[in-house]
Structure 1
Amino acid sequence: MTDVVLPCLNEAPALPWLLGRMPDGYRPIVADNGSTDGSPDLARSLGARVVEVPQPGYGAAVHAGVEAADDGVVCVMDADGSFDPAQLPRVADPVRGGRADMVVGRRRPMGRGVWPLHARLGNVVLARRLRAGSGLDVHDIAPMRAARRDRLLALDLRDRRFGYPLELLIAAGRAGWRVREVDVDYLPRAAGTRSKVSGSVRGTVRAIRDMSAVLAR
């Protein structure tokens, strides 16, 4: 069984489709970060395990979800419907097969406006700085990825905000991990949900600020 951590903040409109498309052998863990729209109860009713995460922040939700997962390969993906769970084997299989220590999904937008320009440009700048500083051949600070739980926790990541994905990649590079990148579809979010990062210029600026602080460290 492969656990799938879904950091969640008010994603109720996306959860039925998302949880309904989990492949066999993949078990969803909804790491709820203070939703007020009934997301936790809905997720439970749909068969997901729910972990309540009182500390705010994307990194806090992901870390709590990873801690709650069983040992073995664990996946992480956004809970807003922007990724298709049916594609989880793309990121998990190379780790399960020992061909990679971590696999990250490189977003390929499926339609105009899916990935706003301000968010895409911010990602390009950060990924370029990451490649220059770490040597990793990665082009996306990806919100969909897979690695082994025990190795993730051993990295002892500290960021609990939007800097978490970048800190993870930097730490993996320093640890000599074999990091692979695979293409994954990037879909329009479920109606009624909004990205906490790319949904607004303010959100993107906040994420870039958090990630820039990680790079500065």
Structure 2
Amino acid sequence: MGSLFVSVQWVNQGVHESTSTVRFPWWHLVIALLVALACAGAGRLVARAFPSPEPSASPERNAHLGLADGELAAWARATGSRPLGATGLVLTAAVVALLPFTGPLAVSALLVGGVLCLGFARVYVTVGRQGLTVTPGRLPWPRIRVPLEAMTGASHREIDAFGDFGGWGYRIRPGASGVILRSGATLFVRRAGGRDFAVTVDDAATAAALLNTLIARRKAH
């Protein structure tokens, strides 16, 4: 973002009359991408220099709910991230501010980033016979679904968003991926392949217990 803002100032330097002739060259976006990659590489080197913090508690597994045979149950919660929502608002505001001075390519990149941040700033987490479903806001897509038949178990624990997953949003780390919107209670689902999928959500203990019950019931039948 800093690189893009500097580029906008640079292409407008010395323009005292009409700004209609000002254009934002595409290669400035390439420079911005290279800057982002350099920052990401520097962050990775710094992260390797410090040991990862140990989890505050080991994952609590194998908890079940006492459902009778034939009894149905479902669980749903909404969760959100204020920093991610604020980032989306800033990017969207930047689109409005820069629209008269830059080309459509740069504006489109900012708009896509803003929409993605706003879309994932609040998600709905559902647990039921279909498994685990995570949906951004009230939109039907993009939807993340982990079916029961692809799970071997569920657990919950407290996490630190930066210490355990490196930040907010859809995160990928060795052995796990997930939708991480804040630090705190987190639902973990163990996939059949051995990888975990995590989502930060309140009352994760109930969601994990229900999933374990549904998984055991499916195996029994």
Place the TM-score, normalised by the shorter chain, in its bin.
under 0.3
Structure with a larger share of its residues in strand? 2
Task: Name which one, 1 or 2, has greater alpha-carbon Rg.
Answer: 2
Of structures 1 and 2, the one with the larger relative CO (CA 8 A, separation 6+) is 1
Q: TM-score, normalised by structure 2?
A: 0.27
Q: TM-score, normalised by structure 1?
A: 0.27
